[in-house]
């Protein structure tokens, strides 16, 4: 949990095979939360994860940690609804609404495999996603890109950006619509110090509007989180 | 709609998530425009379609070497060429998404209908553009005489509409598979066969054959409407 001084007190939640430990009950002040209940995923005969349960309350940042192949990225894709759990359920609970399984549109996903349109410019990439949710002026988008240090790269092709700038653009695409659920998969892999500072700011801002799941093997990145879910 | 208050500054961090992706003309246009920009810079689909659509009549013209083909044979050759050119190029719109890893983001950030109709519209325009070059070459090289131009154009438009609509749904179905191109062809050919037969029939009449063109056009229009309805109803299942 976040303490009064703002530093993070780490709590490790181990999800062992066949057993899980849930977080403490939700305080009434939290308006929404993400609940994963006994989630399991199998690809063919290969079991990727089994019986994963946890709850993330609005305002919390949770690091998903584990060895390579433990299913960290798969868990993020499950939360986003990009793949379905073999067993169990993932729900977004919001005050005044019924349990919702349709989480996708509330999510912002930043993944390491650079899901960007490489043939489009930086501006065209962001404008495309913006137009999907309504009207946003070019000036607003350019202003938004300022903090990602991409405003001057508006007309550059995404495919010609350095890996660090592509990572920044991915962060911009993942966050411009103020997602309730921010899913970050190794977000700092290609970021420099300034980029990591920006990442920290983004994660802090997300505390006031929703939850963050941060899949990482990097100890520095994991420190951004309030607690951990270990797969 | 996004609220009037600028939504994208640090100060607005506490504001709730913007509205879910909308199915709107703006969204359809955005998908179409994205395809246009992407194609303009790579020209991958245009090259694939144009290469086949132009190379096939050239090869055919050498093999028939001065013989005068019947309207039925000409129409069959034209539509076989157009079908296979379309099969080569139209799946690209989906394959590209898979290659760029952007299918996941599309699922999160776009209304499924906007993706479908944007891609269908793009495929239709792509077909028309390549046929503007390929059909005159076919007519000249194979010495085809178009005796009924409006009928010929109508048959092409109805055929293109069917190809574009079918490629929207079938492209999405095959995009996740390992052998995407082969799967797309394997599904598309049997599904498009009735359309191909009717299109060949109507085109043969336009080339001078004495058949009833009206029933062929009616069959094509009905098939297009059926494909449209099936795409609209099934796309959500395929997409999600």
pLDDT tens-place string over residues B56-89: 888 888 888 778 889 999 999 999 999 888 888 8
A4 dihedral zone (left: phi>0; alpha: psi -120 to 50; beta): alpha
Q: Identify the pLDDT of residue B17.
A: 59
Q: Quick one: pLDDT band at residue A122, thresholds 50, 70, 90?
A: very high
pLDDT tens-place string over residues A133-152: 776 788 888 888 998 989 99
Is residue A175 situated within a structural domain? yes
Is residue A2 situated within a structural domain? no
Is residue A1 situated within a structural domain? no
Q: Identify the pLDDT of residue B79.
A: 93
Residue in A closest to B1 by C-alpha: A134
Q: Identify the pLDDT of residue A103.
A: 74
The Cα–Cα gap between A117 and B101 comes to 9
Per the structure, the complete domain to which residue A109 belongs is given by 12-230
Q: Who wins on pLDDT, B195 or B17?
A: B195
Rg (CA), chain A: 18
Is residue A107 situated within a structural domain? yes
Q: Does B104 touch chain A (CB under 8 A)?
A: yes
Number of domains in chain A: 1
The Cα–Cα gap between A106 and A104 comes to 5
pLDDT at B15 over 60: no
Q: Which of A82, A132, A179 sits opposite B27 (nearest CB)?
A: A132
For residue B68, which of B208, B235, B186, B223 has the smallest C-alpha distance? B208
Q: Who wins on pLDDT, B50 or B177?
A: B50
Residues of B in contact with A109 (CB under 8 A): 104-105, 108
pLDDT at A8 over 70: no
* CATH code of the domain containing A166: 3.40.50.300
The Cα–Cα gap between B93 and B181 comes to 11
pLDDT at A19 over 80: no
Q: Identify the pLDDT of residue B102.
A: 85
Is the CB of B6 less than 8 angstroms away from the CB of A81? no
Q: Are B103 and B31 in contact (CB under 8 A)?
A: no
Q: Report residue A167 as tokens.
A: 């990572």
Residue in B closest to A180 by C-alpha: B17
Residue A57 β-bridge partners: A33
Alpha carbon of A86 to those of A35, A49, A76, A230: distances in Å? 16, 10, 15, 20
The Cα–Cα gap between A229 and A64 comes to 5
Q: Quick one: pLDDT band at residue A116, thresholds 50, 70, 90?
A: confident
The Cα–Cα gap between A230 and A12 comes to 7
Is residue A131 situated within a structural domain? yes
Is residue A162 situated within a structural domain? yes
Is residue A170 situated within a structural domain? yes
pLDDT tens-place string over residues B114-151: 899 999 999 999 889 888 888 999 999 888 899 999 99
Average per-residue pLDDT for chain B: 85
Q: Who wins on pLDDT, A99 or A108?
A: A108
Q: Identify the pLDDT of residue A99.
A: 55
- The CB-side HSE value for A6 (13 A sphere, CA atoms) comes to 6
Q: Identify the pLDDT of residue A178.
A: 86
Phi, psi of B116 (to 5 degrees): -60, -55
Mean pLDDT of A189-203: 90
Neighbours of A101 (CB within 10 A): 11
Q: Does A131 touch chain B (CB under 8 A)?
A: yes
ipTM: 0.78
Q: Identify the pLDDT of residue A101.
A: 56
Out of A159-163, B74-78, B169-173, least confident range? B169-173
Minimum distance, in Å, between the CA of residue A126 and any CA atom of chain B: 11
Mean pLDDT of A60-87: 89
Q: Identify the pLDDT of residue B50.
A: 83
Residues of A in contact with B10 (CB under 8 A): 147, 201, 205
Q: Are B10 and B4 in contact (CB under 8 A)?
A: no
Residues of A in contact with B34 (CB under 8 A): 117, 120, 124, 128
């Amino acid at each position: 949990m976040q303490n009064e001084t703002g530093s993070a007190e780490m709590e490790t939640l181990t999800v062992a095979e066949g057993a899980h430990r849930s977080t403490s009950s939700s305080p009434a002040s939290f308006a929404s939360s993400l609940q994963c209940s006994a989630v399991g995923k199998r690809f063919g005969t290969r079991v990727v994860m089994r019986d994963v349960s946890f709850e993330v309350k609005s305002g919390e940042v949770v690091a998903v940690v584990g060895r390579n192949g433990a299913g960290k990225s798969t868990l993020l894709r499950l939360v986003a609804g990009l793949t379905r759990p073999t067993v169990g359920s993932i729900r977004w609970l919001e005050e005044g609404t019924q349990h919702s399984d349709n989480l996708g549109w509330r999510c912002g996903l930043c993944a390491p495999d650079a899901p960007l349109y490489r043939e489009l410019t930086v501006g065209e990439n962001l404008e495309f996603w913006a137009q999907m949710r309504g009207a946003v002026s070019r000036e607003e988008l350019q202003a938004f890109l300022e903090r990602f240090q991409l405003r001057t790269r508006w007309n550059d092709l995404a495919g010609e950006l350095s890996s660090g700038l592509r990572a920044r653009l991915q962060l911009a695409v993942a966050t411009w619509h103020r997602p309730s659920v921010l899913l970050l998969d190794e977000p700092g892999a290609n970021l420099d110090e300034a980029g990591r500072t920006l990442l920290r700011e983004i994660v802090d801002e997300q505390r006031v509007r929703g939850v963050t799941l941060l899949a990482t093997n990097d100890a520095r990145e994991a420190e951004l989180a309030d607690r951990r879910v270990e797969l | 709609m996004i609220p009037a208050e600028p939504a994208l500054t640090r100060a607005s961090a506490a504001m709730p998530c913007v509205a879910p992706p909308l199915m709107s003309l703006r969204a359809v246009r955005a998908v179409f425009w994205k395809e246009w920009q992407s194609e303009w810079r790579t020209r991958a689909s245009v090259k694939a379609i144009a290469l086949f659509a132009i190379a096939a009549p050239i090869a055919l013209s050498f093999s028939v070497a001065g013989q005068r083909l019947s309207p039925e044979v000409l129409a069959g050759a034209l539509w076989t060429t157009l079908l296979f050119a379309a099969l080569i190029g139209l799946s690209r719109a989906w394959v590209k998404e898979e290659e760029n890893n952007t299918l996941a983001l599309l699922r999160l950030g776009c209304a499924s209908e906007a993706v479908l109709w944007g891609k269908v519209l793009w495929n239709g325009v792509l077909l028309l553009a390549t046929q503007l070059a390929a059909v005159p070459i076919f007519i000249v090289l194979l010495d085809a005489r178009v005796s009924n131009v409006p009928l010929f154009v109508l048959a092409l438009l109805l055929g293109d509409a069917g190809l574009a609509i079918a490629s929207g749904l079938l492209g999405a179905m095959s995009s996740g598979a390992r052998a995407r191109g082969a799967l797309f062809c394997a599904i598309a050919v049997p599904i498009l066969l009735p359309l191909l037969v009717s299109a060949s029939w109507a085109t043969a009449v336009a080339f001078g054959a004495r058949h009833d063109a009206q029933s062929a056009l009616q069959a094509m229009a009905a098939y297009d409407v059926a494909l449209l309805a099936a795409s609209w109803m099934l796309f959500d299942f395929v997409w999600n």
